[in-house]
Amino acid sequence: MVGGDAHPTESDHVPATGRADVAVVGGGPIGLAIAWLASVRGMRVRVHDPAPGSGASGVAAGMLSPVAEASFGEEALTRLLLDSAARWPDFAAEVANAAGLTGIAELGYRTEGTLVIGRTADDLAEARRLWAYQQGLGLPITALDATGLHDREPLLAPRVRGGAHAPDDHQVDPRRLVTALRIAAVRAGVVFVPAAVHDLADLDADTVVVAAGCGAAGLTGLPIRPVKGQILRLRAPGGEPPGFRHVIRGYNDGRSVYLVPRLDGEVVVGATVEERGDTTVTAGGVLELLRAAIDLVPELAEYELAETTAGHRPGTPDNAPVIGRLADRPDVIVATGHYRHGILLTPVTAQLVVDLLTSGVADPALAPFTPDRFTRTGQTSVREEIR
Ligand code: GLY
């Protein structure tokens, strides 16, 4: 099995010399996947990161939920989420194969779907408003009454009023994914440079791909801001799998929480959403998450509180990612700003960026996500000039 703390056994810190075809800044899943796929297509690729996988992906829960995460007014983003979700099973199989794993289960890939639940009448009304919108888009999500919910997950609190099932939403373990992608990248010939990049001009490459999450702001001037998320990891007694199988997205006294059960006994409980740049885990954050989790699944009170962490989602002004060439720097491609969806959007981002690297032409699917929709620090946006 690829454990969360495992590292590639191959030499991945080869000294970097000579001009590369592609320098990828950022060794999270998106940067690693771009590097791996570009190298498979014959490019000479370097990844620059002092600690690959130590950013948002080390904190993330790994929900692949294009349906349950489809939000009002984000139709273009929802289309991209669905596109990427459809690519995930093949992508996972390719990563697993390239990393020498026995299959996608070793990445923590699970397909039981998401249950959306509301505990009080008000919570249910809020959840229902959202899934009615999702159904209106034609997305697969089906309402369940309290009996239907408890039939699927008997451990849910008796007071849970009702909910819905999104059967096509999946999950993956981001830490296992990063480890596997590092192995795949090394095997494909990617060279890792374990150092931070402070200026893109320092990189000796034909094309630079900035996949540095929040770090992209300082490197490109794009308006990427940190959105703090505190998240917990619980552990079921005796190392048994948790007593529930679905990802649970719950609404509890006006607060939203998600519970992601893993076969190795872990339950990820997330996450706060805070407009802050620190990574302090606070008593209030832990209390808020635990209260909601235990109100919805009382058995969780018996689980070990194994880990508390906080990370930064790279947020953008319109909550959508930024993928494409910089208008005034055609040698720089950005792939960042994935906000709440970095893991889900990994396959589509990586594949479309590598297509762009290969063909020089941006796929039309990227049109809503171009960097030039934003003004960069020290720049005038192309769209403002046109107006
Ligand atoms: N995708 C879940 C989160 O950002 O908390």
What average pLDDT does the segment 306-331 reach? 97
Q: Same domain, yes or no, for 233 and 125?
A: yes
Ligand 1 neighbour 62 (Cβ under 6 A): no
Range(s) of the domain holding residue 180: 20-60+173-224+318-386
Please report, as a single letter, which amino acid is at residue 285: G
Mutate to test the pocket of ligand 1, among 313, 338, 339, 343 (most ligand atoms within 8 A of CB): 313
Q: How far is the CA of 229 from the centre of ligand 1 (A)?
A: 8
pLDDT at 161: 85
Per the domain annotation, does 76 fall within a domain? no
The answer to whether 317 touches 205, Cβ cutoff 8 Å, is no
Per-residue pLDDT tens digits for 32-87: 999 999 999 999 999 999 999 999 999 999 999 999 999 999 999 999 999 999 99
pLDDT at 116: 96
Q: Same domain, yes or no, for 230 and 143?
A: yes
pLDDT at 11: 43
pLDDT-derived band at 6, boundaries 50, 70, 90: very low
Q: Same domain, yes or no, for 140 and 247?
A: yes
pLDDT at 377: 87
Atom of ligand 1 nearest to the CA of 344: 1
Nearest CA to ligand 1 atom 3: 340
Distance, CA of 147 to CA of 158 (rounded, Å):
10
* Final residue of a structural domain among 285, 315, 345: 315
Global confidence as pTM? 0.93
Distance, CA of 363 to CA of 357 (rounded, Å):
11
Ligand 1 neighbour 312 (Cβ under 6 A): no
pLDDT at 378: 65
Ligand 1 neighbour 48 (Cβ under 6 A): no
* Final residue of a structural domain among 272, 297, 315: 315
Per the domain annotation, does 88 fall within a domain? no
Q: Same domain, yes or no, for 127 and 272?
A: yes
pLDDT at 100: 98
Residue 296 region by backbone torsions, left for phi larger than 0, else alpha for psi between -120 and 50, else beta: alpha
Q: Same domain, yes or no, for 232 and 163?
A: yes
Distance, CA of 71 to CA of 93 (rounded, Å):
29
Distance, CA of 186 to CA of 281 (rounded, Å):
34
Q: How far is the CA of 81 from the centre of ligand 1 (A)?
A: 13
Q: What is the CATH number of the domain that holds 24?
A: 3.50.50.60
pLDDT at 5: 40
Q: Same domain, yes or no, for 196 and 307?
A: no
The contacts of residue 240 (CB under 8 Å, 6+ apart) are 265
Distance, CA of 218 to CA of 222 (rounded, Å):
8
Ligand 1 neighbour 268 (Cβ under 6 A): no
Q: How far is the CA of 18 from the centre of ligand 1 (A)?
A: 39
pLDDT at 239: 86
| Average pLDDT, rounded, for the chain | 93
Per the domain annotation, does 157 fall within a domain? yes
Per-residue pLDDT tens digits for 215-234: 999 999 999 999 999 999 99
The per-residue DSSP string of 83-152 comes to HHHHHHHHHHHHHHHHTT-SSGGGGT-B-S-EEEEESSHHHHHHHHHHHHHHHHTT---EEEEHHHHHHH
Per the domain annotation, does 65 fall within a domain? no
Q: Same domain, yes or no, for 219 and 336?
A: yes
Q: How far is the CA of 384 from the centre of ligand 1 (A)?
A: 32
Q: Output phi, psi for 166, to 5 deg.
A: -110, 95
Q: How far is the CA of 230 from the centre of ligand 1 (A)?
A: 10
The per-residue DSSP string of 222-268 comes to ---EEEEEEEEEEE-GGGPPPS--SEEEEEETTEEEEEEE-TTSEEE
Count of domains forming the chain: 2
Per the domain annotation, does 10 fall within a domain? no
Nearest CA to ligand 1 atom 2: 340
Helix axis angle for 29-40 and 346-359, nearest 10°, is 40
Per the domain annotation, does 15 fall within a domain? no
Distance, CA of 321 to CA of 334 (rounded, Å):
10
Per-residue pLDDT tens digits for 118-172: 989 999 999 999 999 999 999 999 999 999 999 999 999 998 989 999 999 999 9
Ligand 1 neighbour 46 (Cβ under 6 A): no
Atom of ligand 1 nearest to the CA of 63: 1
Residue 82 region by backbone torsions, left for phi larger than 0, else alpha for psi between -120 and 50, else beta: alpha
Please report, as a single letter, which amino acid is at residue 236: A
